[in-house]
Amino acid sequence: MTYDMPKSLQQCCLDFICNNLDVLCQEIPLPRSINVKLAFKNSDVFLTDAISEEFLKTLCEKKKLNDETFALFDSNFMNLKRVYIKDAQLSAAGLRILKTQQIVQLEVSGLGNVTVNDVIGSLGQWTLNNLKTLHVSNLKFINTPNKMGVGSYLNTADLDVNIGSLRSLKYLDVSNTELNALGLNIIANKLPCLEVLNISCTRISDIKPLRRCRDRLKCLSMYDLKIGSDSIPVLTRLTGLVHLDVSYDSHSISRFENNVDSFRFKVSDLLSCTHCLPNLTSLDISGNEGLDEPILMQFLKSHYNIQFLGLALTRACRYPLFLGDKDSELKTNITVTGEANERQLLECLRRYAANRQTYVKRALFKLYSLLLLAIKQNPNHNVIQALALSCILNLLKTELEPNVHPSCLKDIVCHTLRAMANFPRNQQVQNFVFRKAQKLGLKLYYTSMQS
333-382 pLDDT, tens digit per residue, is 899 999 988 899 989 989 998 888 888 878 877 777 777 777 778 777 77
* Residue 349: C-alpha distances to residues 72, 322, 382 (Å): 37, 17, 27
Instruction: Indicate the pLDDT class of residue 255, thresholds 50, 70 and 90.
Output: low
Q: Give the mean pLDDT of 65-77.
A: 93
Task: Give span(s): CATH 3.80.10.10, the chain.
Answer: 84-358
Residue 111 pLDDT exceeds 60: yes
Are 343 and 370 in contact by the 8 Å Cβ rule? The answer is no
Q: How far apart are CA 41 and CA 77, in angstroms?
A: 11
pLDDT of residue 152: 45
Helices marked H in 303-442 — which ranges? 342-352, 357-377, 382-396, 406-422, 427-440
Alpha-carbon dihedral sign for residues 444, 445, 448, 451: negative
Strand segments (E) across 174-240: 196-198, 219-221
Q: What is the pTM of this model?
A: 0.83
Instruction: Indicate the pLDDT class of residue 149, thresholds 50, 70 and 90.
Output: very low
More confident residue, 361 or 273: 273
Cβ–Cβ contacts within 10 Å for residue 87, how many? 13
Q: How far apart are CA 130 and CA 170, in angstroms?
A: 10
Would you call 69 exposed, middle or buried from its count of C-beta atoms within 10 A (0-12, 13-18, 19+)? Answer: buried
Supply the DSSP symbol for 71.
Answer: G
Q: Which CATH class is domain 84-358?
A: alpha beta
* Residue 355: C-alpha distances to residues 214, 286, 350 (Å): 27, 14, 11
**What contacts 403, CB < 8 A, 6 or more positions away?**
361, 365
pLDDT of residue 437: 60
End-to-end CA distance of the chain: 40
Supply the DSSP symbol for 411.
Answer: H
Residue 55 pLDDT exceeds 50: yes
Half-sphere exposure of residue 374: CA atoms within 13 angstroms, side-chain side: 16
Q: In degrees rounded to 5, what are phi and psi of residue 74?
A: -65, 145
